[in-house]
Amino acid sequence: MSDKIRVRYAPSPTGHLHIGNARTAIFNWLFARHNGGEFIIRIEDTDLARNIEDGERSQLDNLKWLGLDWDEAPDKPNAKYAPYRQSERKDSYQVYIDELLAKGLAYKSYKTSEQLTAEREAQQAAKQAPHYVYEYEGLTNEEREAKYAEFEAQGLKPVVRFRVDDDKVYAWDDIVKGRIEIGAKEVGGDWVIQKADGMPTYNFAVVVDDHLMEISHVLRGDDHVSNTPKQMMIYEALGWDVPKFGHMALIINAETGKKLSKRDNNVLQFVEQYRELGYQPQAMVNFIGLLGWSPVGEDEIFSLQEFVEMFDEKRLTKANAKFDQKKLEWINNQWMRRDKEKVMPQLINELVQAGLVSEADAVAKADWLAKVIEVAGVDGISYTKEIVELARKPFFELSDITPDMVEWLTSDEGRAVFNAWEARYAALPADAKAADYMDVIRSIQTDLEVKGRPLWNPIRIATTHEVQGPNLPEMLELFDKDQVLATMAAVREQYLN
Ligand code: GLU
């Protein structure tokens, strides 16, 4: 193996980009980029039945969105290592399956699923751990081959199983977890390396690929710890160097304290879902980059580039990583504030998507819309889609006047405030500023000796049909004067005449 750092992200295209997989991709990428190594994407699509149509494209598209790039992938092959889809690498696997068969380290097994079930049930009844029972015990190679011929004659299709030496112990220094030792016995006996349809199993293919692609480090989820001894058996049997393994902390649901599961319906777990809500890619990377990795110091807001500079695999944490959606919301809010100018077109687009603004106005009135978004409270939102409901009323639609509001308007004080406000508002120039509106409201306060809600509510209701909302003078500055006059006239007509 060369000294070059080569890492890979190896998704199975069985679904969209899950947060856990995105983390694996991000940490491998950071490790490569920090160390001047190479980052490779390999598609593990041997389980044909589970592949989904759009799986590969969606994975790559979302990784790109997160800001990752790659040195090799199906769409960027290096002839030395291509192809990058396991389904296209069948020939490479066959060579090594044949080698293991020839060396007697693997064998063909023709047991039917009924036989296997019966065996498992017998073991259960005898309170034994489930364990594969080797069917050719005591036979010579020739005798075994003769059995193969017999089974073939019966029309049975074999799988190929690796012959496990139960007395061995497999140990490695895990980059994250430290020393791990697992007895070969724990893998449950001889395991399948090639299925009856000729496809290699994951634990076999991954070794052949990682070796042929000269992968130096394998950083992956904690759920693969139990696969590692199987993979080490193959490295050993084929006489290959083992890469360095690192198994990243389990991601748990902060609310339940349990392993984050796809069944946790209250947590959005796919990158795409956050993308659709208008989360920023740099916020997603920021959040995911802290799932099982901790920086030096207290800061929590980092760009991808800052992560690259700081990345140190020794700071991958052993403790479970908490998936806390509140924290993600906070991080996204921080990034939206930082990148306000960049995010503004997205915010305006949300208003277009919601049907509040036409495509033409989105361009023609971009400056005004930016101010609306600001006044509506963009600094308090967690993701861009939230701006729609904040801005909708009263900027684009008016609520109905409720009986409560009618009371505010028709009390003696309310009428007096309304009358004063309507006249003084009409007298202001169309381009009056927030401070001018504030002055007028103050003058009413002084002249009529009213303050607080009895002062503000009638004015707010008259102009916005609301009793609360963003800073009123700032809103008034953004409203169209003729429209406000019309709104007030309608209120007068209906409730005050
Ligand atoms: N295809 C495997 C998965 O999605 C990759 C495991 C590995 O990194 O070895 O979990």
Give the H/E segment covering residue 313: none
Distance in Å, CA 270 to ligand 1 centroid: 17
Terminal alpha carbon distance of the chain = 90
Give the pair of three-digit tokens for residue 101: 């068969």
224 lines ligand 1 (CB under 6 A): yes
Predicted local confidence at residue 111, as pLDDT: 97
Residue 279, SS3?
Answer: coil
The three-state DSSP-derived secondary structure of 8-47 is EECCCCCCCCEHHHHHHHHHHHHHHHHCCCEEEECECCCC
Tens of pLDDT, residue by residue over 278-289, are 999 999 999 999
Atom of ligand 1 nearest to the CA of 227: 9
262 belongs to the catalytic site:
yes
Alpha-carbon gap, residue 120 to 187, rounded angstroms = 15
What string of pLDDT tens digits covers the 497 residues of the chain? 568 999 999 999 988 999 999 999 999 999 999 999 999 999 999 888 888 888 999 999 999 999 999 999 999 999 999 999 999 999 999 999 999 999 999 999 999 999 999 999 999 999 999 999 999 999 999 999 999 999 999 999 999 999 999 999 999 999 999 999 999 999 999 999 999 999 999 999 999 999 999 999 999 999 999 999 999 999 999 999 999 999 999 999 999 999 998 888 888 999 999 999 999 999 999 999 999 999 999 999 999 999 999 999 999 999 999 999 999 999 999 999 999 999 999 999 999 999 999 999 999 999 999 999 999 999 999 999 999 999 999 999 999 999 999 999 999 999 999 999 999 999 999 999 999 999 999 999 999 999 999 999 999 999 999 999 999 999 999 999 999 999 999 999 999 98
Cβ–ligand 1 distance for 220 under 6 Å, the answer: yes
Distance from residue 423's CA to the centre of ligand 1 (Å) = 71
422 touches ligand 1 (CB under 6 Å): no
Can you list the positions of beta strands (E) in 86-235? 106-109, 159-162, 169-174, 178-183, 191-194, 217-221
Ligand 1 within 6 A of CB of 10: yes
Place of tokens 């490790």: 31
Closest residue (by CA) to atom 8 of ligand 1?
A: 220
**Cα-to-centroid distance, 256 and ligand 1 (Å):** 26
Taking a C-beta distance cutoff of 8 angstroms, is the pair 325, 284 a contact? no
Distance CA 259, CA 272 (A): 21
Does residue 72 line the site of ligand 1, with CB under 6 A?
no
Q: Is 216 in the pocket of ligand 1 (CB under 6 A)?
A: no
Q: Which of 4, 76, 258, 262 is catalytic?
A: 262
Q: Report the pLDDT value the prediction gives residue 2, as an integer from 0 to 100.
A: 61
Chain centroid, CA 195 distance in Å: 32
Give 126-160 pLDDT, tens digit per residue.
999 999 999 999 999 999 999 999 999 999 999 99
Dihedral sign (CA 402, 404, 408, 411): positive
For residues 206 and 44, is the Cβ–Cβ distance under 8 A? yes
Query: In ligand 1, which atom is closest to the CA atom of 218?
Result: 8
d(CA 12, ligand 1 centre) in Å: 7
Strand-strand pairing, 38-41 and 6-9: parallel
Residue 119: CB atoms within 10 A of its CB come to 16
194 ligand 1 Cβ < 6 A = no
Return the sign of the alpha-carbon dihedral for residues 54, 58, 61, 64. negative
Q: Report the pLDDT value the prediction gives residue 50, as an integer from 0 to 100.
A: 87
What's the CA-to-centroid distance between 8 and ligand 1, angstroms?
10
419-424: long-range contacts, CB 8 A cutoff, minimum separation 24: 420/444, 420/447, 420/448, 421/458, 421/459, 421/462, 422/462, 422/488, 422/492
- Report which protein residue has its CA nearest ligand 1's atom 6: 10
Ligand 1: which residue has its CA nearest to atom 3?
A: 11
CA of 11 to the centre of ligand 1 (A): 6
Q: 217 CB under 6 A from ligand 1?
A: no
